[in-house]
Amino acid sequence: MSKFQFPKSIASRPVYGTLAPRPGKAHLMMADAEGAEALLDLAAQDAGLMGKAHILYIPRDTGQTYTDRLRALEPAQLYVGPSFDAALPRLRRVLSDAHMGLQVYLAGTEGLMGRAAAEVTAAGIPLGAVQTEHRGSVARRMQCVHCKGITEDVTTDPFTCSHCGLNLFVRDHYSRRLAAFQGVCIDAEDPGNVPEPVELYK
Amino acid sequence: MTIQFNDETFRGDYSFRNSPWAIRRFPFPFHEDSYMYSVNMEQHRGGPAGSVYEKRFDVDEHYVSEMRDRAIVLAEDPLRCQSLPHMTLAGWDLLELIMVSKSEDYPDLFELHRDGERWRWVNRPMGIDDTFTFMDETTLPYGPMEYITRQTQGDFAVLDQRDDNLWMDAGMVTTQADWSLDFDIGMNFFEWHAPVPLAHEMGIFKRALKFLMNVQQGAPARRLNWTMTVNPLLDTSPENYHKWGIQKTELTPENIGAKQHLRVELQTFYRLPRSNALVFPIRCYLIAFQDLVTVPKWGRRLHRVIRDLPDELATYKGFIANRPLMLDYLSRYDDGLPTSPGVWPDLDTEPPLQK
């Protein structure tokens, strides 16, 4: 089981639930890494769902662990891709055909769920049709408020911006539009005084 | 009166100064000797003659220099002004509100001539005389919100109202107390206030949202908010925090009176007629401690407020490290005498400093 209970936080921070089957004639599912477990659990609740499902899956560092099991669910369409960015044109193409009542299921890391949810809502699908379930890494997708660059998969606080090199602390303030948390310079008032990075939630 | 516009800077050599007139009309935010969050809304229907509350959009001696500073910020970072696609109509609403208000309230400074959709706008202090077609973006050099807020002091958040919430879907933000429009755009009322401590638990935002969603056309509201800023720096943005944050460490007992500023926001709220959006101007006023304490009542009171403020608020407002230095300075202007109720300076009735 790869579920993590996030501590209670501020109002802009997303909260995630548990995927549940909903009635509908089309189901779009997107997951990365251990997020596949949430889709497997979902399929176990409603065997009929997968015949109407389009799954986009990014295994990341889980390799082949889940791909055969997802294929065994016999979804209507299954895509296994190397990265979110690689899957993005396909996701947008699928969303361009979406009809009212499409049900969306997102599972895995916060970065994947956030980016997919932003695409889905940008396509005009209401957030109410989107379910999310966190599985796997608690790494965060961070925006540097100074240079605007995004650093993916941040696991420590503070961390170094992968674009401008500033030392940033990790805030819980979250933008759904950017699908990112906010990183702010930690040593602005005392340059060079950067605390040892600590693993998130440790 | 005719306003003499200062030629001053809010960066670099920081030549910003308040005249004795500007000091006396400063919107001092504390109506008693202590402070805690409250919704503190009131109707924005004028105020005492000469006060910052008198006109719908106050124009003061800093106008021209503030607009120059805004242009510098926008040249460096165009993301400070953004409008989501559905907010253009609200931008026109805002342009109309400001042009009508300013031309009526300051006829010697601004003129608006309307011939159907053909409008001519004259902004004398900034040397602007433009003719354009109302609701036709191609006839203005910028989008309507950007065009008019490049000519109006204060930041502007333009809020869409839907789903029983307010959404920050457009804004012009160059004089902010450390928040990012680029990050917060698209958020709802609770989300963009998420980082504020204590107030959520106190139910402040629920009540404020309920109030704001019911603001009607022609019945604007207002409130004050405040924080502290070292140097008269308008652009205390998170974007540039890595550049200006260091200035907070440069206070000394010798320079604090000149460098430390009380920063007050006059926040007003107007319902816009076509879009039903709510526009939220956030006008920033700065005053150096050494000018503020020339009003004996304000010197006494500010000392007491800062002394008794909960640590969480001093931390959130970013001056917890400098509070001891502030109190050393301000205590010299507090003789322990009682203060009169209300925010006004009461120079004729309050006793001079007794020490």
A173 near B178, Cβ under 8 Å?
Answer: no
**Chain A, nearest residue to B243 by Cα:** A188
Does A32 lie in the same domain as A77? yes
Pick from A174, A176, A188: CB nearest B242: A188
Mutate to test the interface with B, among A9, A160, A184, A194 (most CBs of B within 10 A): A184
The minimum CA-CA distance between A30 and chain B, rounded to whole Å, is 24
DSSP for B239-281 reads: TTHHHHGGGGG---TTTHHHHEEEEEEEEEEEE-TTT--EEEE
Pick from B183, B187, B242: CB nearest A166: B242
The minimum CA-CA distance between B36 and chain A, rounded to whole Å, is 21
pLDDT at residue B196 is higher than 90: no
Query: Percent of chain B beyond pLDDT 70?
Result: 100
pLDDT at residue B39 is higher than 80: no
Residue A186: inside a domain, yes or no? yes
Complex ipTM: 0.92
Rounded to two decimals, what is the model's pTM?
Answer: 0.94
Residue A170: inside a domain, yes or no? yes
Does A44 lie in the same domain as A113? yes
Q: Which residues, 6 or more positions from B173, have their beta carbon under 8 angstroms from its beta carbon? A: B80, B81, B155, B156, B157, B179, B180, B181, B237
What's residue A201's pLDDT?
87
Q: Which of A93, A114, A134 is the last residue of a domain?
A: A134
How sure is the predictor about B202, in pLDDT bands with cuts at 50, 70 and 90?
confident
CB contact under 8 A, A146 and B239: yes
CATH of the domain at A43: 3.40.50.80
pLDDT, tens digit, 9 for 90 and up, residues A60-71: 999 999 999 999
CB contact under 8 A, A185 and B245: yes
pLDDT at residue B9 is higher than 60: yes
CB contact under 8 A, B242 and A190: no
pLDDT at residue B38 is higher than 90: no
Of all helices (H) and strands (E), which one includes residue B311?
A: helix B311-316
Give the CA distances from residue A25 to residues A44, A47, A53, A76, B226, in Å, rounded to whole numbers and listed in that order: 18, 14, 9, 12, 53
Does A146 lie in the same domain as A124? no
The encoded tokens of residue B43 equal 């109707």
The Cα–Cα gap between B279 and B283 comes to 12
Residue A118: inside a domain, yes or no? yes
Task: Using an 8 Å CB-CB cutoff, list chain B residues near A193.
Answer: none
What's residue B37's pLDDT?
78
Which amino acid is residue B50, in one-letter code? G
The Cα–Cα gap between B184 and A173 comes to 9
The encoded tokens of residue B42 equal 């009131």
DSSP for B98-110 reads: HHHHHHHH-TTTE
Residue pairs between chains A and B whose CB atoms are closer than 8 Å: 68
Residue A148: inside a domain, yes or no? yes
Residues of the domain holding A169: 140-196
DSSP for chain A reads: -----PPP--TTS-----------S-EEEEEETTHHHHHHHHHHH-TTSGGGEEEEEE-GGGTTTTHHHHHHT--SEEEE-S-HHHHHHHHHHHHHT--TT-EEEEEE-HHHHHHHHHHHHHTT--GGGEEEEE-S---EEEEETTT--EEEEE-EESEE-TTT--EEEEEEEEETTTTEEEEEESSTTSTT--PPPEETT-
The minimum CA-CA distance between B176 and chain A, rounded to whole Å, is 14
Mutate to test the interface with B, among A145, A168, A193 (most CBs of B within 10 A): A145
Q: Residue A69: CA atoms inside 13 Å, Cβ hemisphere, count? A: 18
**Chain A, nearest residue to B197 by Cα:** A10
Does A188 lie in the same domain as A122? no
Does A31 lie in the same domain as A119? yes
Task: Using an 8 Å CB-CB cutoff, list chain B residues near A146.
Answer: 238-242
CB contact under 8 A, B194 and A182: no
pLDDT, tens digit, 9 for 90 and up, residues B142-158: 999 999 999 999 999 99
pLDDT at residue B171 is higher than 90: yes
Residue A49: inside a domain, yes or no? yes
Main-chain dihedrals φ then ψ at residue B283, nearest 5 degrees? -95, 125
What's residue A159's pLDDT?
98
Does A110 lie in the same domain as A186? no
**Chain B, nearest residue to A172 by Cα:** B195
Residue A74: inside a domain, yes or no? yes
pLDDT, tens digit, 9 for 90 and up, residues A9-59: 999 999 999 999 999 999 999 999 999 999 999 999 998 999 999 999 999
Q: Which of A104, A134, A164 is the last residue of a domain?
A: A134
What's the mean per-residue pLDDT of chain A? Answer: 96
pLDDT, tens digit, 9 for 90 and up, residues B93-120: 999 999 999 999 999 999 999 999 999 9
Does A130 lie in the same domain as A51? yes
**Chain B, nearest residue to A126 by Cα:** B163
CB contact under 8 A, B194 and A12: yes
Does A158 lie in the same domain as A92? no
Residue A51: inside a domain, yes or no? yes
pLDDT, tens digit, 9 for 90 and up, residues A150-180: 999 999 999 999 999 999 999 999 999 999 9
Does A76 lie in the same domain as A62? yes
Overall number of domains in chain A:
2
Does A130 lie in the same domain as A36? yes
Q: Does B186 touch chain A if contact means CB atoms closer than 8 Å?
A: yes
The Cα–Cα gap between A26 and B72 comes to 51
CB contact under 8 A, B241 and A188: yes
C-beta atoms surrounding A63 within 10 Å: 9
Q: Quick one: average pLDDT of A103-107?
A: 98
Spell out which chain A residues touch chain B, with contact meaning CB-CB distance below 8 angstroms: 10-13, 143, 145-146, 148, 166, 171-178, 182, 184-185, 188-191
Does A125 lie in the same domain as A33? yes
Residue A151: inside a domain, yes or no? yes
The Cα–Cα gap between A115 and A84 comes to 9
Contacts with A, B 8-67, CB within 8 Å: none
What's residue B36's pLDDT?
84
Q: Residue B81: CA atoms inside 13 Å, Cβ hemisphere, count? A: 22
Contacts with A, B 255-314, CB within 8 Å: none
What's residue B89's pLDDT?
98
Does A181 lie in the same domain as A85? no
What's the mean per-residue pLDDT of chain B? Answer: 96
What's residue B198's pLDDT?
82
pLDDT, tens digit, 9 for 90 and up, residues B68-82: 999 999 999 999 999
What's residue B40's pLDDT?
82
Q: Quick one: average pLDDT of A131-148?
A: 97
CB contact under 8 A, B241 and A171: no
Residues of B taking part in catalysis? 223
How sure is the predictor about B2, in pLDDT bands with cuts at 50, 70 and 90?
confident
Q: What is the largest CA-CA distance in chain A?
A: 59
